């Protein structure tokens, strides 16, 4: 695995809020020329076996991954676990609790939608009919399908996003706890899409300091949709905090043409690739 190999360490399947099955995702990665792909579904490892088998057939190296929801100073933070052992008993039990938190929150959000005059029970049923662990993306899609909003981003703005009418703050476990699960499962914890959190520059540095203190090992320096300027700034942060650099599209759906699988800027040379020891 050379520095110029095509690597994408952040992608979703329909085991969470992606639209493709794990096998379809891997096939798409192969077509896009990806050499190494991490399947990182939200709070579940359910797709990893299928992805590994498909990767063996398609010639794509599959990194067993997960994207775990955590909280830090009452913000939701996403931590990628890369090269995890999905059979880890502690991780499995932790992900079981995460799944339950997701189901409880989804019921609460749908109850809040009912209070707003929307058909909460039918929306909940639509989300629960999906194969994946429930996320707000599924609910946004159900709101679009029911004609309640025109587009998923409107669903977030009007109902589901922070400060919106049916927003329910999730009770995610602390960042340090999530990092500990990942390390316990033999994985490397990588902080996902660092620019996406509503934080000041100082807040972001504090987040990174706490992440490192908890045992975090990498930063997603190159993320889907972000430009070279963003990558350079994140590379500086990775160097400052002694973190390895990760690259990931956060691919969800081929219809999101602005965020394709495996088409990512190069990791700046000043950062050590998180996959180097797995070459
Ligand atoms: P959850 O983990 O249930 O809170 O759902 C979060 C998921 O919703 C993210 O992983 C994104 O895929 C999606 N999402 C969050 N905010 C937006 C938004 N404004 N527009 C579209 N999708 C979003
Ligand atoms: Mn998502
Ligand atoms: Mn995320
Ligand atoms: Mn993601």
Beta-ladder partners of 42 = 67
Residues 66 and 16: their CA atoms lie apart, in Å, by: 10
SS3 237: helix
75-82 and 61-72 as β-strands: parallel, antiparallel, unpaired?
antiparallel
The owner of tokens 């914890």 is 189
Query: What percent of the chain is predicted at pLDDT more than 70?
Result: 99
CB 179 within 8 A of CB 214: yes
Instruction: Give per-residue pLDDT as tens, 81-140.
Output: 999 999 999 999 999 999 999 999 999 999 999 999 999 999 999 999 999 999 999 999
pLDDT value for 225: 77
- Kindly state the helix (H) or strand (E) to which residue 149 belongs, with its residue range: none
Residue with CA closest to ligand 1 atom 20: 153
pLDDT value for 210: 98
Compute, in angstroms, the gap from residue 136 CA to the centroid of ligand 1.
6
pLDDT value for 1: 62
CB 264 within 8 A of CB 249: yes
Residues 124 and 249: their CA atoms lie apart, in Å, by: 29
Residues 136 and 127: their CA atoms lie apart, in Å, by: 9
Distance of CA 2 to the CA centre of its chain: 25
| Lowest-pLDDT choice from 84-88, 196-200, 262-266 | 262-266
The owner of tokens 């399908």 is 145
Q: What is the rounded radius of gyration, in angstroms, for the C-alpha atoms of the chain?
A: 18
Helix 201-213, helix 175-184: angle, nearest 10:
40
Compute, in angstroms, the gap from residue 81 CA to the centroid of ligand 4.
11
Average pLDDT value for residue range 158-180 = 96
CB 246 within 8 A of CB 190: yes
Q: pLDDT confidence of 2, banded at 50, 70, 90? A: low
How many CB atoms are located within 10 Å of the residue 256 CB? Answer: 15
pLDDT value for 278: 86
Compute, in angstroms, the gap from residue 57 CA to the centroid of ligand 1.
32
| Lowest-pLDDT choice from 73-87, 169-183, 218-232 | 218-232
Q: pLDDT confidence of 228, banded at 50, 70, 90? A: confident
For residue 152, the ligand 1 atom closest to its alpha carbon is 21
Protein residues with CB under 6 Å of any ligand 1 atom:
17, 42, 69, 135-137, 152-153, 156, 161, 252
For residue 252, the ligand 1 atom closest to its alpha carbon is 12
DSSP3 helix / strand / coil % (the chain, rounded to 5) = 45, 15, 40
* pTM for the whole structure: 0.97
């Amino acid at each position: 695995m050379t520095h110029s190999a095509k690597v994408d360490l952040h992608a979703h399947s329909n085991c969470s809020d992606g639209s493709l099955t794990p096998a379809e995702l891997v096939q798409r990665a192969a077509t896009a020329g990806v050499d190494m792909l991490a399947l990182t579904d939200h709070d579940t490892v359910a797709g990893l076996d299928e992805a590994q088998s498909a990767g063996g057939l398609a010639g794509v190296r599959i990194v067993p991954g997960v994207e775990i929801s955590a909280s830090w100073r009452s913000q939701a933070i996403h931590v990628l676990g890369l090269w995890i052992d999905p059979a880890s008993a502690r991780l499995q039990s932790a992900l079981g609790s995460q799944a339950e938190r997701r189901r409880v929150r989804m019921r609460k959000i749908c109850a809040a939608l009912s209070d707003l005059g929307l058909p909460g029970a039918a929306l909940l049923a639509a989300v629960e009919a999906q194969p994946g662990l429930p996320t707000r993306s599924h609910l946004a899609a159900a709101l679009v399908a029911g004609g309640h909003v025109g587009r998923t981003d409107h669903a977030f703005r009007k109902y589901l996003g922070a400060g919106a009418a049916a927003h329910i703050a999730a009770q995610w476990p602390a960042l340090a706890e999530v990092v500990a699960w990942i390390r316990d499962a033999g994985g490397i914890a990588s902080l996902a899409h660092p620019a996406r959190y509503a934080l000041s520059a100082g807040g972001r540095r504090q987040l990174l300091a706490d992440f490192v203190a908890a045992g975090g090992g990498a930063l997603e320096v190159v993320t889907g949709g972000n430009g070279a300027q963003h990558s350079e700034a994140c590379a500086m942060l990775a160097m400052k905090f002694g973190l390895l650099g990760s690259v990931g599209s956060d691919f969800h759906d081929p219809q999101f043409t602005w965020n394709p699988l495996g088409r990512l800027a190069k990791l700046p040379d000043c950062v050590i690739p998180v996959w180097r020891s797995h070459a």
